[in-house]
């Protein structure tokens, strides 16, 4: 298992981490297999989406915050970041990627993103490369 850190700069944002994951896969010496990227935090997640137009990431953040408002009279958790926990469970804590010819195999427009829901913070990302 390898890991790297990401410094997020706002409360809710998508931070591209494809380059870091690609580099770990290339150095792993695995020709064919799988790569799992895991977020060890409960107010952040991981997702795969478009890495071409940054407005896609921006619109994802916009709508997720609209769907699950930061403030809701029904929340009870005293830390005040219930929305971040809820969104982490909706987006998910890990992504599974394929490895071929020693490199990460993604669709043409796909990138991997850490999704911050309670930033700014320093986040850790765990990466596991499995194969032969």
- Enumerate binding residues for its own copies (CB under 8 A): 1, 32-34, 36, 38-42, 47-50, 53, 55-56, 58-60, 62-64, 66-68, 72, 74-79, 82-83, 85-86, 88-98, 100, 105-110, 115, 124, 126, 128, 130
Phi, psi of 18 (to 5 degrees): -60, -45
Containing 87, the helix (H) or strand (E) segment is helix 82-91
Do residues 17 and 6 touch, judged by C-beta distance below 8 A? Answer: yes
Q: How far is the CB of 104 from its own copies (least distance, A)?
A: 12
Q: Which of 42, 54, 25, 23 is nearest to 116 (CA)?
A: 42
Do residues 9 and 31 touch, judged by C-beta distance below 8 A? Answer: no
Q: Return the number of the residue (19 or 63) whose C-beta is nearest its own copies.
A: 63
Q: How far is the CB of 67 from its own copies (least distance, A)?
A: 7
Q: How far is the CB of 73 from its own copies (least distance, A)?
A: 11
Alpha helices in 1-132 (DSSP H): 18-28, 54-67, 82-91
Q: How far is the CB of 23 from its own copies (least distance, A)?
A: 19
Task: For residue 88, give the 3-state DSSP assignment.
Answer: helix
């Amino acid at each position: 298992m390898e890991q790297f850190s990401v410094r997020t700069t706002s409360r809710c944002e998508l931070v591209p981490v494809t380059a870091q994951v690609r580099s770990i896969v290339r150095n792993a010496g695995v020709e064919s297999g799988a790569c799992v990227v895991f977020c060890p935090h409960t107010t952040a997640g991981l997702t795969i989406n478009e890495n071409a137009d940054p407005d896609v990431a921006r619109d994802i953040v916009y709508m997720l915050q609209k769907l699950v408002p930061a403030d809701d009279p029904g929340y009870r958790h005293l830390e005040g970041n219930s929305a971040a926990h809820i969104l982490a469970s909706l987006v998910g804590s890990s992504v599974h990627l394929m490895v071929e010819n020693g490199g990460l195999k993604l669709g043409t427009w796909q990138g991997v993103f850490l999704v911050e829901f309670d930033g700014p913070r320093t986040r850790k990302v765990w990466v596991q490369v499995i194969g032969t």
